[in-house]
Amino acid sequence: MKITKITQSIEKLLITNKLFLKTLIAFYKPVVKKEVMVANINNSDTILFVGGGSAPCSGILLNELTGANVKIIDNDYNSVVNAQKIIYKYNLKGLTVECCDGKDADYSKYSIIHLALQIDSKQKIVDKIISSSNAKVLVRIPKENVMNIYDHFDYEKYKINNFVEHNNLLNIGKTLAYEK
Ligand SMILES: C[S@@+](CC[C@H](N)C(=O)[O-])C[C@H]1O[C@@H](n2cnc3c(N)ncnc32)[C@H](O)[C@@H]1O
């Protein structure tokens, strides 16, 4: 998907500078704060974040705000290497990054599964999670005006337990929470 490639490239540029990275994290912070509250995440949860990117801001914040261990996956090898460098450089604990496509991941051992806005095959991935895991699933969906640049996702296919709206400069419109 074109938008995935664009955000990938922007993140690859932003991680070269500590101030850029800090600014990006600051943009994500209010989003992740609301997500932590809506899914009631705490330090006993085991979190999988799908589509972490070169600057795994959401994964970093999920760990920082809850104390829970977070595993981050991304299907782009360079993004994984960049994210690992950030974790090493800033000595971040409780975070691991692995190269894996969301379509191939094993979802059975997590209590929280969080999907980035930009992931490809979102529908297939959500279908797989719902059929193979008891986790709470958080799915970011785009703002109305940018809906058609993202992969199609039928968000009414499963019962939505809760959601939060975001008013930020990012393209994230809402985060939906699904629970079995
Ligand atoms: C640019 S990032 C944005 C995430 C953002 N950094 C955050 O912290 O929320 C989106 C990433 O999703 C990855 N991605 C796209 N589709 C994926 C899939 N099916 N499985 C795993 N990763 C995927 C891309 O490689 C890209 O690095």
Q: How far is the CA of 4 from the centre of ligand 1 (A)?
A: 7
- Whether 50 lines ligand 1, by a CB cut-off of 6 Å, is yes
> Encoding tokens for residue 70?
């977070």
> Encoding tokens for residue 120?
């490809």
Contact 164, 38 (CB under 8 A): yes
- Whether 115 lines ligand 1, by a CB cut-off of 6 Å, is no
Question: What is the atom index within ligand 1 of the atom nearest the CA of 7?
Answer: 1
Residue 11 has a pLDDT of 82
Q: Looking at the DSSP assignment, which residues form a beta bridge with residue 50?
A: 73, 115
Global pTM reads: 0.95
From first to last of its 180 residues, the chain has per-residue pLDDT tens of 677 788 888 887 777 788 889 999 999 999 999 999 999 999 999 999 999 999 999 999 999 999 999 999 999 999 999 999 999 999 999 999 999 999 999 999 999 999 999 999 999 999 999 999 999 999 999 999 998 889 889 999 999 999 999 988 889 999 999 998
- Whether 63 lines ligand 1, by a CB cut-off of 6 Å, is no
Tokens 């985060």, located at residue: 175
Percent of the chain with pLDDT over 70: 99
Q: What is the DSSP letter of 26?
A: H
Query: Does residue 45 sit in helix, strand or coil?
Result: coil
- Whether 55 lines ligand 1, by a CB cut-off of 6 Å, is yes
Question: What is the atom index within ligand 1 of the atom nearest the CA of 58?
Answer: 8
Residue 1 has a pLDDT of 64
89 burial (CB, 10 Å; 0-12 / 13-18 / 19+) is: exposed
Residue 34 has a pLDDT of 98
Residue 36 has a pLDDT of 98
Residue 120 has a pLDDT of 94
CATH architecture of the domain covering 2-178: 3-Layer(aba) Sandwich (3.40)
Q: How far is the CA of 62 from the centre of ligand 1 (A)?
A: 16
- Whether 151 lines ligand 1, by a CB cut-off of 6 Å, is no
Q: How far is the CA of 113 from the centre of ligand 1 (A)?
A: 14
Residue 10 has a pLDDT of 82
- Whether 83 lines ligand 1, by a CB cut-off of 6 Å, is no
Per-residue pLDDT tens over the stretch 160-180:
999 999 988 889 999 999 998
